[in-house]
Structure 1
Amino acid sequence: MTLPAEPPAEFVPSKSETPAASPRTIVGVRFMRVGKLYHFDATGYGALKSGDRVIVETTRGRQLGEVVNIVDPTKASPPEGGYKPIEGLASPRDLALQQFWKTKETEAMINCRERAHQLGLDQLGVKIVKAEYSSDGARLTFLVAGPDDGQGKLETKSLRDDVQAVYPSQQVGLRQIGPRDVAKLLGGMGACGLETRCCSMFLTEFSPVSIKMAKEQGISLNPDEITGMCGRLRCCLVYEYEQYVAARKTLPRRNKQVLTPKGPGKVVDVNPLKESVFVELKEGEDFRTYEFMKADLQPADELEALKKKAASPCDRHESGGCSCGKAQKRNA
């Protein structure tokens, strides 16, 4: 097992300067290209802009992140405990230090995998997916995935203790991640054939996905059709789900009787996004299916109700406002 090298003497984290008093500034910071957005208090650090690099303290150590946007403090919802302040703008030395430790991550991952193999954890389905140093090298976190059997948290204390002995200068931690996070980190082609998976290309957070979403959109429930490379339901089932739900509310349901320009018929299918309906009409002894737009249809039961109302006597003639000719005389 290769022991970690110490950074050159010139790679020492810079100390942040105390900012001058100024109006409150909240910034959105991202730590990876397609990662979750976190908000920090950047008050006193001047006019920050998108693309600026800042140093912040996180649960995973001192990290170097990129400013993505500036948030209006009056419209932001602060987390419990308030916003954490940024420690300062990243200097060229900070950027060089981060790059130095990144070059050590692959070596650390190989060492951790080697130790996991010696402990027999790989036989239990434990996988070391990635190693991450904090920007100053003080912390080393290994992202670990377990077997997809729903057994919950992995027991990796022995592995952490062994790796900690190899890296005494760093605080070593193991963080378990799910199959979706693994697919996002590894990247690659999507199950649909897209060159880059959605999660690696633009999804910053994972939304809950259910079989109901596939049913609502009329998608085949064949596992090969709705399962992503992570083994979970495809994230794209969420994309148009709300549009389908909203559109279906305005269209007649299947098996409902409707009136069309070609006569009465039964709804056999709908196309929510196109707002069209497929209606089965009887033509002689045969049945044929036609597609009609929503505006061309009228529910048969609704028309029947209108006919009954038109045929019933009017009850407004006594006030003098009736001209339908169907007034009923009140019994004396």
Structure 2
Amino acid sequence: MGCNSCSTGKDGQPKGCKNNGTCGTDSCNKLTVFDWLSNMNLPNGEKPFEWVEVRFKNGRKHYYKNTENLTLAIGDVVATQAQYGHDVGAVTLTGELVRVQMKRKKIPLNGEEIYKIYRKASQKDIDIWIEAREKEDKMKVRARRFAIDLNLKMKISDIEYQGDGSKATFYYTAEERVDFRELIKVFAREFKTRIEMKQVGFRQEAARLGGIGSCGRELCCSTWLTDFRSVSTAAARYQQLSLNPLKLAGQCGKLKCCLNYELDTYLEAINKFPKTDIKLETQKGTAVCQKTDIFKGIMWYAYEGEWANWHKITKDQAKEIIALNKTNKKVASLEEFASELLEEDTKTDFENVVGQDSLTRFDNVGTKRKKPKRRRNKNRRRPPQNKKNNAK
């Protein structure tokens, strides 16, 4: 979903966002919340909720109190209070849904650190903000070089300037504790600004930078996923996925968050199957479970010593054999229980609804090119006729 300024232009050429990420529909921002209460009036003349959600670079959001009673809408650029100076961001949510979001994130309404909105950003504020943002990429290259020269085992992933350009926050990832006191001195001397170092996890780094996942869509953590649940290899085992780190890991190097999406469905379906560690006792031998298919309700068993030969039975048949084994009874073999499940024929016959003969009627496969006819020269002398024919 994109706003009008992000749609395609003439001859299918993309226009690109002309609002610098502050679209009125808020469709270009990340981690947005749809305000379904925007066109509804409050009952009994109640005042609107005075807190506002403001988004900064790469999905960073904070909540500010609208003490000046400014008329704010989604997409407005505002100057907000900061610890030192002021910051510049875009309004992403107003009204009662802000109360719901603050309650969900456990943000107190009467805390010690309550920041407010100063004003709507003026053109001067926006110019300073854009000028500071343009410095960030060049600074990141130099900052990484300084960290390498000091032999620090850290990676500077992103730099974010404050709206007034008075402070720069360096986001970095590291597996161990890093002593960056000397690095801060180098940054302050080279960049001439206040420096703040902030360590983030590998998942948070991927969420800030964004990207395209193996599914072809934007990363969930950078678009809509706000809380990171722990992902274990057991989730892959329950879904019978190959334990290949290259396939299961995301761009952050950790297990993909989407492994948890269908895990509850798999766990619910597995409960209807007999446990895979239960062996089936038959007169032919002991069978061990090799594989299950929760969608078709099928299980594959193999006799001990004959691991190459798998026998397919349904989960109900497996339960029946287990019930007989509990009464000290054995079936003859799995072959008499094996069921051949008929697979539906997926072949589709396409009919000629257009009335044309064939889709390949224009293909000239195997046809030879005709040679052009040689023109006969009228002035060419005819060969002499046979004398015998003349005598006749």
Q: Note if contact 1:52-1:66 (Cα within 8 Å) is conserved in structure 2.
A: yes
Q: Note if contact 2:51-2:99 (Cα within 8 Å) is conserved in structure 1.
A: no
Structure 1 position 89, deviation (Å) = 2.5
Structure 1 position 252, deviation (Å) = 4.6
- Aligned positions, number: 260
- The aligned counterpart of 1:39 is 63
* Distance of aligned partners of 1:177 and 1:255 in 2 relative to their CA distance in 1, 3 Å threshold: closer
* 1:223 counterpart (245, 251, 259): 245
Q: Note if contact 1:101-1:133 (Cα within 8 Å) is conserved in structure 2.
A: yes
Question: Are 1:24 and 2:49 counterparts?
Answer: yes
Quote the Cα distance in structure 2 between the aligned partners of 1:68 and 1:255. 52
Structure 1 position 158, deviation (Å) = 0.4
Structure 1 position 134, deviation (Å) = 0.2
Quote the Cα distance in structure 2 between the aligned partners of 1:60 and 1:138. 8
* 2:178 counterpart (154, 157, 168): 154
Quote the Cα distance in structure 2 between the aligned partners of 1:32 and 1:179. 18
Quote the Cα distance in structure 1 between the aligned partners of 2:298 and 2:152. 53
Structure 1 position 125, deviation (Å) = 3.2
SS for the counterpart of 1:229 is coil
* 2:137 counterpart (106, 114, 121): 106
Structure 1 position 160, deviation (Å) = 0.3
- The aligned counterpart of 2:88 is 64
Question: Are 1:245 and 2:245 counterparts?
Answer: no
Quote the Cα distance in structure 2 between the aligned partners of 1:67 and 1:212. 41
Question: Are 1:88 and 2:108 counterparts?
Answer: no
Q: Note if contact 2:68-2:118 (Cα within 8 Å) is conserved in structure 1.
A: no
Larger radius of gyration: 2
- The aligned counterpart of 1:127 is 155
Partner AA of 1:25 in structure 2: E
Q: Note if contact 1:154-1:176 (Cα within 8 Å) is conserved in structure 2.
A: no
* Distance of aligned partners of 1:186 and 1:36 in 2 relative to their CA distance in 1, 3 Å threshold: closer
* Distance of aligned partners of 1:138 and 1:288 in 2 relative to their CA distance in 1, 3 Å threshold: same
Structure 1 position 159, deviation (Å) = 0.9
1:248-327, aligned counterparts within 5 Å? Answer: 248-254=270-276, 269-272=291-294, 274=295, 276-279=296-299, 288-290=311-313, 300=320
SS for the counterpart of 1:245 is helix
Question: Are 1:144 and 2:172 counterparts?
Answer: yes
Quote the Cα distance in structure 1 between the aligned partners of 2:235 and 2:203. 18
Name the TM-score, length of structure 1 as normaliser.
0.62
Q: Note if contact 1:36-1:204 (Cα within 8 Å) is conserved in structure 2.
A: no
* Distance of aligned partners of 1:268 and 1:221 in 2 relative to their CA distance in 1, 3 Å threshold: closer
Partner AA of 2:298 in structure 1: F
Structure 1 position 96, deviation (Å) = 2.1
Partner AA of 1:183 in structure 2: A
Percent identity over the alignment is: 27
Quote the Cα distance in structure 1 between the aligned partners of 2:60 and 2:290. 43
* Distance of aligned partners of 1:291 and 1:48 in 2 relative to their CA distance in 1, 3 Å threshold: farther
Q: Note if contact 2:274-2:318 (Cα within 8 Å) is conserved in structure 1.
A: no
SS for the counterpart of 2:164 is coil
Q: Note if contact 2:235-2:260 (Cα within 8 Å) is conserved in structure 1.
A: yes
Structure 1 position 173, deviation (Å) = 1.7
Q: Relative CO higher for 1 or 2, CA cutoff 8 Å, sep ≥ 6?
A: 1
* Distance of aligned partners of 1:187 and 1:208 in 2 relative to their CA distance in 1, 3 Å threshold: same
Quote the Cα distance in structure 2 between the aligned partners of 1:56 and 1:198. 28
* 1:180 counterpart (203, 220, 223): 203
- The aligned counterpart of 1:165 is 189
Name the TM-score, length of structure 2 as normaliser.
0.54
Quote the Cα distance in structure 2 between the aligned partners of 1:220 and 1:196. 24
CA RMSD, Structure 1 to Structure 2 (Å): 3.9
Quote the Cα distance in structure 1 between the aligned partners of 2:90 and 2:191. 28
SS for the counterpart of 2:80 is strand
Structure 1 position 37, deviation (Å) = 4.1
* Distance of aligned partners of 1:290 and 1:67 in 2 relative to their CA distance in 1, 3 Å threshold: farther
Q: Greater strand share, 1 or 2?
A: 1
* 1:214 counterpart (226, 236, 244): 236
For structure 1, the residue ranges without an aligned partner over 5 or more in a row are 1-21, 259-264, 305-332
Structure 1 position 156, deviation (Å) = 0.6
SS for the counterpart of 2:90 is strand
- The aligned counterpart of 1:235 is 257
SS for the counterpart of 2:240 is coil
* Distance of aligned partners of 1:271 and 1:54 in 2 relative to their CA distance in 1, 3 Å threshold: farther
Structure 1 position 161, deviation (Å) = 1.1
For structure 2, the residue ranges without an aligned partner over 5 or more in a row are 1-46, 281-286, 303-308, 325-392
